[in-house]
């Protein structure tokens, strides 16, 4: 797929912008602070309904404006779709598809599929588990848009259950009993949605692993062994038919499957309840899981060098690209400022790996940082104006 038009109104630094794009490589060159990342962020937002830089919507709306509008025309094969989003801070977004309102913004997820490479990706390797969970969850939704509903359900249950635990915990601490009658019902929901999410993440990790190792070797140009393991906060279930962990089942799930995990989460919730009430938090479930990344057996977080960490972050994105392509989703690749960080060898190896994509958008402060393999249409971004120069 590829984008043919992007238009922005009051998004970040852009009062208004209309951009015509084509397949192949497009580079956006401009000095610092001119609005290159803002463009990439806007495209990423159309694909995921989230920014890769901020979690709240307020910074996305131009200072002094009340709301922002994003419009993107997406072509996939011989079909085109026009997605329009209105971002109003503090309120739910509104979305339209081919000029008709949709009931929920998330109904437009899946129409545009992107893989975004950005300096922020270093946090995937060096940062907190939350970033790695988000990486997995965004890829789950990109592959299977229906997963957005599971994630939303899980989040809602988690919030409500945690509120209940907090109120009950506070009541107990002040000498009352604390009403925990509805907690069993929430446990059931948490286990059910949680197991669906957990099983999906495990299957995704299995599917990604070979690509991550391959991409790391290709980018880094070394034979280092890269490890990529999901770490569930719930102990892996011990019972049931004995299959090797990680075995892919005929329905595409990975052993242990969703039902087994649901039981495991329920059991763990029972054991954790006194601690949960005491702390007023949900201590069990996929919101506490992590993805362990290793290079030559050592945890990347804490051990890997800067260059190794970068190569690993790039490998995660490249493997996502490969997987989405294999699913026949052909994502648009967005490379924000990634070449400046790499030495010449890594630059040209990365360029070779991304060049076959149907559409690639590359930003750089200095044109010379963009490898020759990625010569294409060039725009200059200056003071919020985007001008085609070749």
Ligand X SMILES: Nc1ncnc2c1ncn2[C@@H]1O[C@H](COP(=O)(O)OP(=O)(O)OP(=O)(O)O)[C@@H](O)[C@H]1O
What is the contact mask toward ligand X in residues 286 to 325, using x (rule: CB under 6 A)? ----------------------------------------
Residues in the chain: 390
Using CB under 5 A as the binding rule, whether residue 93 contacts Mg ion is answered as no
Of the pair 56, 242, the CB lying nearest ligand X is at 56
Q: Is 344 exposed, middle or buried (0-12, 13-18, 19+ CB in 10 A)?
A: exposed
Using CB under 6 A as the binding rule, whether residue 63 contacts ligand X is answered as yes
Q: In the beta sheet, which residues pair with residue 19?
A: 6
Instruction: Report CA-CA distances (Å) from 344 to 30, 114, 130, 360.
Output: 21, 26, 32, 20
If binding means CB under 5 A, how many residues of this protein chain bind Mg ion?
A: 2
Among 26, 27, 34, 37, binds Mg ion (CB under 5 A): 37
Of the pair 37, 282, the CB lying nearest Mg ion is at 37
Phi and psi at residue 164, to the nearest 5°: -60, -45
Of the pair 220, 354, the CB lying nearest Mg ion is at 354
Closest distance to ligand X from the beta carbon of 338 (Å):
11
Using CB under 5 A as the binding rule, whether residue 26 contacts Mg ion is answered as no
Nearest CA-CA partner of 302 in 130, 132, 126, 129: 126
Of the pair 48, 363, the CB lying nearest Mg ion is at 363
Of the pair 61, 319, the CB lying nearest ligand X is at 61
Per CB under 6 A, contacts with ligand X among 12-41 are 12-13, 30, 32-38
CB 106 within 8 A of CB 94: no
Instruction: Write out the DSSP string of 263-332.
Output: HHHHHHHHHHHHHHHHHTS--SSGGG-EEEEEETTEEHHHHS-HHHHHHHHHHHHHHHHHHHHHTT--PE
Q: Among Mg ion, ligand X, none, what binds residue 211 when CB lies within 5 to 8 Å by partner kind?
A: none
Per CB under 6 A, contacts with ligand X among 350-369 are 365
* Binding interface with ligand X (CB under 6 A): 12-13, 30, 32-38, 59, 61-63, 337, 365
Q: Tell me which residues touch Mg ion (CB under 5 A).
A: 36-37
């Amino acid at each position: 797929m590829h984008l043919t038009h992007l238009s922005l109104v009051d998004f970040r630094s852009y009062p208004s912008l209309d951009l015509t794009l084509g397949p192949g490589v497009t580079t956006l060159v401009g000095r610092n602070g001119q609005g290159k990342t803002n463009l990439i962020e806007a495209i990423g937002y159309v694909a995921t309904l989230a920014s890769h830089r901020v979690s709240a919507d307020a910074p996305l709306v131009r200072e002094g404006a009340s709301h922002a509008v994003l419009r993107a025309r997406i072509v996939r094969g011989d079909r085109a779709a026009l997605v329009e989003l209105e971002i109003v801070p503090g309120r739910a977004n509104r979305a339209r598809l081919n000029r008709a309102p949709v009931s929920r913004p998330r109904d437009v997820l899946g129409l545009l599929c992107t893989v975004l490479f950005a300096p922020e990706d270093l946090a995937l390797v060096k940062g907190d588990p939350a970033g790695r969970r988000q990486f997995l969850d965004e890829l789950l939704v990109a592959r299977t848009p229906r997963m957005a509903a599971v994630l939303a359900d899980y989040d809602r249950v988690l919030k409500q259950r945690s509120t209940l635990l907090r109120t009950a915990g506070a009541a107990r601490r002040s000498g009352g009993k604390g009403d925990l009658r509805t907690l069993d019902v929430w446990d059931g929901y948490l286990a059910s949605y949680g197991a669906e999410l957990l099983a999906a993440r495990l299957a995704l990790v299995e599917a990604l692993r070979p690509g991550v190792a391959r991409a790391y070797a290709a980018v880094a140009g070394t034979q280092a062994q890269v490890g990529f393991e999901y770490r569930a906060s719930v102990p892996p279930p011990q019972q049931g038919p004995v299959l090797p962990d990680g075995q892919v089942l005929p329905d595409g799930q990975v052993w242990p499957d969703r039902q087994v995990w649901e039981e495991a989460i329920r059991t763990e919730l029972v054991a954790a309840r006194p601690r949960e009430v005491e702390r007023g938090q949900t201590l069990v479930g996929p919101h506490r899981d992590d993805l362990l990344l290793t290079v030559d057996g050592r945890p990347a977080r804490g051990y890997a060098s800067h260059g190794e960490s970068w190569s690993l972050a790039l490998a995660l994105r490249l493997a996502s690209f490969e997987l989405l392509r294999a699913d026949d989703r052909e994502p648009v690749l967005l490379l924000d400022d990634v070449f400046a960080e790499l030495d010449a060898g890594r630059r040209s190896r990365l360029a070779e790996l991304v060049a076959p994509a149907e559409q690639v958008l590359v930003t750089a402060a200095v044109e010379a940082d963009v490898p020759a393999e990625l010569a294409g249409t060039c725009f200059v971004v200056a003071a919020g104006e985007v001008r085609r120069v070749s």
